Structure 1
Amino acid sequence: MLTNQQTTTQTLDAVLGGLMRRYSERVPDVQKVIDAMIDEGIIGAASEIENDHIAFRTMGVPNLGIASFEKIFLHYGYEKRDEFNFTGKKLTAYWFSPPEPHYPRIFVSELRVHELSDEARQIIHRYTDTVTSDPVDSLDLDDAAAVDQFLHQPLWTTPTLADYQRLLDESEYAAWVIFNRYYLNHFTISVHNLKPGYNTIDEYVAFLERRGFRLNTAGGTIKVSPDGDLRQASTVAQMIDAEFAGGDVHRIAGSYVEFAERRVLPPFRDLPADQISRQHRREGFETGNADKIFESTFTTQTGK
């Protein structure tokens, strides 16, 4: 008979598996990056990749936002960590540490809708006000199929192209969420655990550029934390043909792939490589890095 812990682990495995499956189908760069890594001999199979973190975007409105979304992963043993404030983009975010080291960290952000213009707020509320109670409260979090379906279903009606474009003018984040909802925004390859020659972000980015991948250049191709120990890069979001209310079809930003190098912390730098594990490396996130990673879906990057 399975213990509660084993049951929870199986459910989390299934939820994460569903997220990654649909995300991979929707973002061709995921398989292209994996194929290029296999072709280059960096890995033998996709299963060798460590997923550093996955990220979600939400709307800060009643019954939704982080307060609702976090209930799902807190149920599976994740723990809420640091808060981040993105003043220019009007976002609040938290990251959540996993119940076991082999699971990805989770980064969840929400738009501070109340800080937008009256017109933008009205557009968003016209859609989100149809959600009159917290949908997670009626979800069986022990039913992996139900959670998987919830994370891929629309929470409000499909927006019109006009509403999408008006939001895009003011907040590209708002426009992304109003159409894409809870779709997985990105997953992140842990570069530091790859073989020598590819296990620093500089070497890995050189490999990606050699292979022709388009990378987010906001704030520089490689985003570096002030302490120098968290180094990140990302592809530019894939453009998808989105069908809006009324049948209008328009190409918009979908999701992307991120890459992270977490350097070994100073007290542990003399440890042999085979003794280094997650607790010896830089943890958490960095506001300055994340601020520029968000722009992987922005027109300044996708329109290059």
Structure 2
Amino acid sequence: MECTRLSSSISSLYNTSIKIKSSLSTQSRNFVTLNITKSPPNPIYHNNIIKRSLSIVSQSSTMDDFQQSSTSKGSESFFRSVLESMEKVYLSRNQTADSILKLVKSVDGEGVCYDHIAFRTFGVDGHGIDSIAKFFLDFGYTMKDQLRFPAKKLKAFWFAPPSYTCDDNGSGVTGPLPRVFISELLVDEMSPQAQEIIRKYTKVSGIGNRHAALASALGTLTWEIPLYSEFQDLARESEYAAWTLVNGYALNHVTISVHRLKSQLNNINSINKFIEGNGFKLNSEGGVLKVSPDGLLLQSSTVADSTSFHFGDGKEESIPRSYIEFAERLVLPQYQNIADKEIKESHRRDGFEVGNADKIFESTSSDQLTRKAA
């Protein structure tokens, strides 16, 4: 069972963490110990600021202390290793994303950066945004703006990477740390039948929500493998809910930072043409190109891959997996006079846009999956 495998993995990682803690005992501050302790309370959202205790950082240390600590390099190495594991699971399940990354690298070189990575969650019983966010907060990320999607019964927050590190030479998760976008289904707003199904699985997950990042890195569910009939029931009401039931905390998508590319692909129209020219289908919801009202955030995405899935009742059916996105952030008006070679990421449009994200969500919808390529 998935839960048994996850418990074994937690035990293994816990034993490793004891060794890490021991090796850092001579330091004035302990950072990564990954002790399996009682989880912190659910976050309290007030004016879009999360108020919570960071469970991994010792009480004697502040985040500023961590950033200056001699252990931060080792901690960052551990953090990036987890991200790499998440990425490996993602690429192993999504041939389109793997192929496109290789294609772009064949033209642009190995230094392809991620603009952001994204996760989906259930907003119930501690399995919502905070379940995955706490991992990133513990490693220096900062919660930013909230986004609401009333029609889809969703909300989301995005998280900015820490400023203490910036590796401009790596690729993907080994390069500049990406933004993180985490959404959750507002389960209490769903029908009684849908709520019953979701709560059934989050209940048997037990403390699985405390180890969401581990589940993502391992590519496993923290609850039992669902029944196909319940997957169908959820899909009729919310395809987001059905996707999350079978994919759990797996990466929903990664996003190539288009303006950071060094070749002729470094604008959104060029890369869209390149992707479609190589036979891949782009999400056409609201048009292939999604543009923010200020015209400074340009996004597009492929349609999700589908793979066979063995359900708990013995049925084997195709389910939607993940997709890859592309984002170009234009220079803000106040920095238009800066020379191109002097432009930094901080000079560009930051954040996310509800209208764009709402359409990007459709990359896993049945309408997009069954649509014939143009």
TM-score (structure 2 length as normaliser) = 0.75
1:63–1:134 Cα contact (<8 Å) kept: no
Match of 1:250 in 2: 317
Which of 324, 336, 344 aligns to 1:277? It is 344
Cα 1:67–1:148, aligned 2, differ >3 Å: closer, same or farther? Answer: closer
Pair 1:174-2:237 in alignment: no
Matched, 1:123 2:197: yes
CA distance in 1, matches of 2:155, 2:143: 14
Tell me which residue corresponds to 1:294: 361
Structure number with the bigger relative contact order (C-alpha 8 A, sep ≥ 6) is 1
The match for 2:99 is 32
Matched, 1:108 2:182: yes
Displacement of 1:191 in angstroms is 0.6
- On the 8 A contact 2:215/2:222 being kept in 1, the answer is no
How far has the Cα of 1:147 moved from its partner?
A: 3.1
Q: How far has the Cα of 1:134 moved from its partner? A: 6.4
**% same residue:** 42
Aligned to 2:112: 49
Q: Secondary structure at the match of 1:88?
A: helix
SS class of match (1:129): helix
> 1:34 Cα deviation (Å)?
2.2
CA–CA separation in structure 2 for the residues paired with 1:74 and 1:151: 20
Rounded Cα–Cα distance in structure 2 between residues aligned with 1:272 and 1:23: 37
Whose Rg is larger? 2
Alignment of 1:46-195 (within 5 A): 48-99=111-162, 100-101=165-166, 102-133=176-207, 135-136=209-210, 147=214, 152-195=219-262
Unaligned runs of 5+ in 2: 1-23, 25-68, 167-175
What letter is aligned with 1:62? Answer: D
| Deviations 1:69-128, CA, capped at 9 Å, x for gaps | 211110011100000100010001000000144100000000000101111111111111
Q: Structure 1 stretch 28-37 or stretch 121-130: which is displaced more? A: 28-37
Indicate the larger mover: 256-265 or 242-251.
242-251
CA distance in 1, matches of 2:359, 2:251: 18
Aligned residue identity for 1:114: D
1:54-77 CA-to-partner distances (Å, cap 9, x unmatched) read: 000000011211122211110011
2: distance between equivalents of 1:205 and 1:286?
A: 20
Give the drift of 1:7: 2.3
Deviation (angstroms), 1:271: 1.4
Contact 1:151–1:182 at 8 Å: present in 2 too? no
Q: Deviations over 1:238-261 (max 9, x none)?
A: 011111012201111100000000
Mapped contact 2:272–2:300 kept (Cα < 8 A): yes
CA deviations on 1:151-185 (whole Å, 9 max, x unpaired) are 63211101111000010000000000001000100
Equivalent residue in structure 2 for 1:235, among 302, 318, 339 = 302
The Cα shift of 1:29 comes to 1.2
Q: Which amino acid aligns with 1:302?
A: L
1:215 and 2:278 aligned: no
Q: Which 5+ residue runs of structure 1 have no aligned equivalent? A: none
Structure 2 letter corresponding to 1:63: G
* Cα distance in structure 2, aligned partners of 1:163 and 1:148: 22
